Structure 1
Amino acid sequence: MQKIIKPMSGFLALLLSLILFIGTIFLFASSREHTSFALYGVLAFLASLYLSMGIIVISPNHSRVLTFFGKYVGTVKENGLLFVNPLYKKQKISLRSENLESAKLKVNDKMGNPIEIAAVIVWQVSDTYKAAFEVENYDHYVKVQSEAAVRHLATTYAYDHMEDETAAITLRDGGEKVNEMLENELNERLAPAGILVKEARISHLAYAAEIAGAMLQRQQATAIVAARTKIVEGAVGMVEMALEQLSRKGIVTLDEEKKAAMVSNLMVVLCGERGAQPILNTGTLYQ
Structure 2
Amino acid sequence: MDVTRDSSPRPAPHPAPLPDLAAGGPDGTGAAGSTAATGKAQPPRATSGGLTRPLLRKAAPSARPAPAAPPVRPDDQDGPPTRPLTPVRPRPGPEAETPAARRPPRVDQAVRERHALTLPGWLALLMLLAGAAGVLAILVRAGVLPEFEALPDIRTDAVRRGGPVGLTAPEIAAVAGLGLMLVTVLAGLLSNPGGEARVLTRWGRYRGTVRRAGLLWVNPLVRRRRVDVRLRHWRSDPVTVTDRTGTPIVVRLLVVWRVRDTARAVLSVAEHEAYLREQIHAVLSRTASRLPCDSNSGPGPALRDGQWFADELSRALAAEAHAAGLEVYSAQPLALEYAPEVAESMRRRRLADLDAGLRTVLVDDAVEAAALAVRRLERATAHELDEAARSALMEHLLVAFVAPAGVTAPVPAPAARTARTARKEGANRTDGRQA
TM-score exceeds 0.5: yes
Higher mean C-alpha displacement, 205-214 vs 28-37 = 28-37
Please give the secondary structure, in 2, of the residue aligned with 1:149.
helix
1:58 corresponds to which of 189, 192, 195: 192
Q: CA deviation at 1:280?
A: 9.6
1:238 — aligned with what? 369
For residues 66-112 of structure 1, the C-alpha deviation after alignment (integer angstroms, 9 at most, x for no partner) is 22222211112222222222222222111101111111111211110
1:71 — aligned with what? 205
Please give the secondary structure, in 1, of the residue aligned with 2:399.
helix
2:254 corresponds to which of 97, 113, 120: 120
| RCO comparison, higher one (Cα < 8 Å, 6+) | 1
In the superposition, relative to structure 1, how do residues 94 and 274 fare at CA in structure 2: closer, same or farther (>3 Å)? closer
1:269 corresponds to which of 400, 424, 431: 400
Q: CA deviation at 1:118?
A: 1.6
1:188 — aligned with what? 319
Q: CA deviation at 1:21?
A: 3.8
1:90 — aligned with what? 224
Query: For the Cα contact (< 8 Å) 2:117–2:218, is it kept in 1?
Result: no
Deviating runs (4+, > 6 A) in structure 1? none
For residues 214-253 of structure 1, the C-alpha deviation after alignment (integer angstroms, 9 at most, x for no partner) is 1111111211222222221221122112222222222778
Residue identity (%):
27
Query: For the Cα contact (< 8 Å) 1:109–1:115, is it kept in 2?
Result: yes
For residues 37-73 of structure 1, the C-alpha deviation after alignment (integer angstroms, 9 at most, x for no partner) is 6665444333211111112122222211122222211
2:427 — aligned with what? none
2:144 — aligned with what? 31
1:160 corresponds to which of 294, 301, 323: 294
Query: For the Cα contact (< 8 Å) 1:109–1:156, is it kept in 2?
Result: yes
Query: For the Cα contact (< 8 Å) 1:116–1:206, is it kept in 2?
Result: yes
2:302 — aligned with what? 170
State how far apart, in whole Å, the 2-side matches of 1:227 and 1:209 are: 27
1:111 — aligned with what? 245
Q: Does 1:179 align with 2:315?
A: no
Query: For the Cα contact (< 8 Å) 2:199–2:208, is it kept in 1?
Result: yes
State how far apart, in whole Å, the 1-side matches of 2:304 and 2:244 are: 13
State how far apart, in whole Å, the 2-side matches of 1:8 and 1:221 are: 72
Q: CA deviation at 1:172?
A: 0.9
1:221 — aligned with what? 352
Q: CA deviation at 1:23?
A: 4.8
Please give the secondary structure, in 2, of the residue aligned with 1:272.
helix
1:14 corresponds to which of 125, 133, 137: 125
Q: Does 1:286 align with 2:417?
A: no
Q: CA deviation at 1:157?
A: 1.9
Greater share of strand: 1
Which amino acid in the other structure matches residue 110 of structure 1? Answer: R
Q: How does 1:242-253 map to 2 (within 5 A)?
A: 242-250=373-381
Q: CA deviation at 1:8?
A: 2.4
Please give the secondary structure, in 2, of the residue aligned with 1:123.
strand
Please report the RMSD computed on the Cα atoms of aligned residues, expressed in angstroms: 3.0
In the superposition, relative to structure 1, how do residues 47 and 229 fare at CA in structure 2: closer, same or farther (>3 Å)? same
In the superposition, relative to structure 1, how do residues 232 and 17 fare at CA in structure 2: closer, same or farther (>3 Å)? same
Query: For the Cα contact (< 8 Å) 1:117–1:154, is it kept in 2?
Result: no
Which amino acid in the other structure matches residue 228 of structure 1? Answer: R
In the superposition, relative to structure 1, how do residues 20 and 145 fare at CA in structure 2: closer, same or farther (>3 Å)? same
TM-score normalized by structure 2?
0.59
In the superposition, relative to structure 1, how do residues 166 and 43 fare at CA in structure 2: closer, same or farther (>3 Å)? same
Count the aligned residue pairs. 283
Query: For the Cα contact (< 8 Å) 2:117–2:208, is it kept in 1?
Result: no
Please give the secondary structure, in 2, of the residue aligned with 1:238.
helix
State how far apart, in whole Å, the 1-side matches of 2:138 and 2:399 are: 111
In the superposition, relative to structure 1, how do residues 21 and 286 fare at CA in structure 2: closer, same or farther (>3 Å)? farther
Q: CA deviation at 1:272?
A: 1.7
Q: CA deviation at 1:187?
A: 1.0
